[in-house]
Structure 1
Amino acid sequence: MDFTVVLKKAEIAISMDGKGAWRDNVFIEQLWRSIKYEEVYLHADKTVSEARAGIGRYLTFYNNRHPHSSLDRQTQDQAHFNELEPMMVAA
């Protein structure tokens, strides 16, 4: 495929080519699924800038306000910043 040639020329590793590769992109695939179903498909943006702004707002919501069942109903920020807090106190 043409896009892989571009990646190879730029010396970018392509991760989906080995055993266990399904795990390489599972998190980003889940995020894109959320963006598509909860933002993109619900809005008929007329311009790229409208779409970009909407996705930006959605990502802010996703990280700051959307509780995730896989994170014990915490938001992304709560889960990840709470993990960092003990390290910051220790520093």
Structure 2
Amino acid sequence: MDDNAHIESWFRTCKYAPGYPPGGFETLAAAREWVLRFVTWYNGSHRHSGIAYVTPEQRHNGTAEPLLVQRRAVYEAARQRHPLRWKRHPRPWQAPDHVWLNPPPATTLKAAA
């Protein structure tokens, strides 16, 4: 039974991340150091599929949209140069308007609108 679904999900993400020690941490200081490096990587370097393969840092500081505009242009130019390589249209490369950890029920959203 999961006591806290968010922390269980976060722990699974950590556990399968590169560099996670399979035998656990030797000291509390080692655990804190690893978590600091992991969170820095996760927010600043790791591209997330749920937000159009940009980092959370890019999403929050406003640099994601220019990057996505450039990405759309690169993909469209590649598709124009070599149309036979593309079976489908490229990804739209647009970030979602809203991102939720735990979305409220649709009825709550409609009532708030």
TM-score by length of 1: 0.52
- C-alpha distance in structure 1 between counterparts of 2:5 and 2:59, whole Å: 18
| Sequence identity percentage | 32
Other-structure match for 1:35 = 14
On the 8 A contact 1:40/1:55 being kept in 2, the answer is no
1:82 Cα deviation from its structure 2 partner: 1.4
- C-alpha distance in structure 2 between counterparts of 1:72 and 1:27, whole Å: 22
Other-structure match for 1:73 = 53
- C-alpha distance in structure 1 between counterparts of 2:54 and 2:45, whole Å: 9
- C-alpha distance in structure 2 between counterparts of 1:69 and 1:81, whole Å: 18
Deviations 1:55-77, CA, capped at 9 Å, x for gaps? 11000000000000001000010
Larger radius of gyration: 2
The unaligned stretches of length 5 or more in structure 1 are: 1-15, 17-24, 84-91
> Which amino acid in 2 is paired with 1:72?
A
The total of aligned residue pairs comes to 60
Higher relative contact order (CA 8 A, sep 6+): 2
Matched, 1:52 2:5: no
TM-score by length of 2: 0.43
More helix per residue: 1
1:33 Cα deviation from its structure 2 partner: 2.0
SS at match of 1:46: coil
